[in-house]
Structure 1
Amino acid sequence: MKTALSVLFTAMIFLACDQSDTYVSPSDKLYKRWKAVEIGKNGKDWRTLTPPEVIEFVADGTVKYENQANLCCSPTELIRQKSILKVVKTGSNGPYCAGMSCVAISELHILLLSDTDLVIDYSHEGASMYSLRYEATP
């Protein structure tokens, strides 16, 4: 009887552990401050972004922006599914947000992620809107 109970208990523990869970280690390369330095389309045709925008991806899914002035339509909360970041919430503060009609970004696709470089393609309903190339920043 004790053996049957311990087998059942062990099975319940294994079933409760979902391997598809979105837990991410704090050491994940994405979760730090990044400076957007170039803008392009589909991860190519790069042009210098002026002024560069500094953002921080946080492990809890929030996105922090150094320039808080105009966050209209900018992703502020994400759910990560491997190399896809699903947009949960966008910014709505800033003097122009009330009258702005924007095509909201629905997903961010990580095209490249290393310790020092990040390339993200911003898309709406599967269609690429633009890509940003970031460099890690302190």
Structure 2
Amino acid sequence: MKQLILFVLILGMSISCHKADQDATPADPLYQTWKLVEIQNSKGTWESVSYESVLELRADGDILYPKSEPGCCSPIRFERQDETLKITETYGGGDCIYVDCAAPSAYKIVSVTASELVLDMVYGISVPVSYSSMKYIPIR
């Protein structure tokens, strides 16, 4: 009888732990790892990228580059303000002291779903540069 109770208790705990792992999906689809797949050109058409660019947007405001070190002037921290990701820090390590940065001041979220993220780069205070839209897909 004790073995049966112990078995039921262990089975119940293992099932409840497994269910908790499944429910741990983020509520906001923005905060995950994204792979750049297309860039919009000045004519408004989308073009596939020929290089790999992966970034992870985290709820704590960090931007991580899990497949490489960030390039000079790449955004590494942001503050979210509704549909705007205001860049608060850019990468300046290594030989970046010799680089004159023209990094975006923010990213404007054009759309975000569980399967796609589209961002516009914003330079200066609030002028979106429409030909620099970027389309990402999640990496699972």
Q: TM-score, length-normalised on structure 2?
A: 0.72
Secondary structure of 1:80's counterpart equals strand
- Following superposition, the deviation at residue 98 of structure 1 comes to 2.3
Q: Is the 8 A contact 2:120 2:128 kept in 1?
A: no
Secondary structure of the 2:69 match is coil
Conservation of the 8 A alpha-carbon contact between 1:84 and 1:110? yes
Which has the larger share of strand? 1
Structure with greater proportional helix content? 2
What SS is found at the alignment partner of 1:50? coil
Greater shift in the superposed pair: 119-128 or 108-117: 119-128
Residue in structure 1 matched with residue 36 of structure 2 by the alignment: 36
Any conservation in 2 of the 1:107–1:122 contact (CA below 8 Å)? yes
Please give the alpha-carbon distance, in whole angstroms, between the structure 1 residues aligned to 2:86 and 2:41. Answer: 19
The CA distance in 2 between the partners of 1:41 and 1:84, in whole Å, is: 21
Shift of 1:93: 2.4
What is the aligned partner in structure 2 of residue 136 from structure 1? 138
Which piece of structure 1 moves more, 59-68 or 106-115?
Answer: 59-68
Identity %: 32
Number of residue-to-residue matches in the alignment: 112
The 3 A distance-change label for structure 1 pair 136 and 60 is same
Q: Give 1:103 deviation, angstroms.
A: 0.9
**Structure 1 stretches (4+) deviating beyond 6 angstroms?**
none
Task: Please list, as runs of the form range in 1=range in 2, the aligned pairs for 1:36-115 lying within 5 A after superposition.
Answer: 36-41=36-41, 44-95=44-95, 97-115=96-114
Shift in Å, 1:45: 2.1
Q: CA deviation at 1:67?
A: 3.8
Deviations 1:85-109 (A, max 9, x none): 10100011244x2221121210100
Contact 1:69 1:93 in 2 (8 A): no
**Superposed displacement of residue 70, structure 1:** 4.3
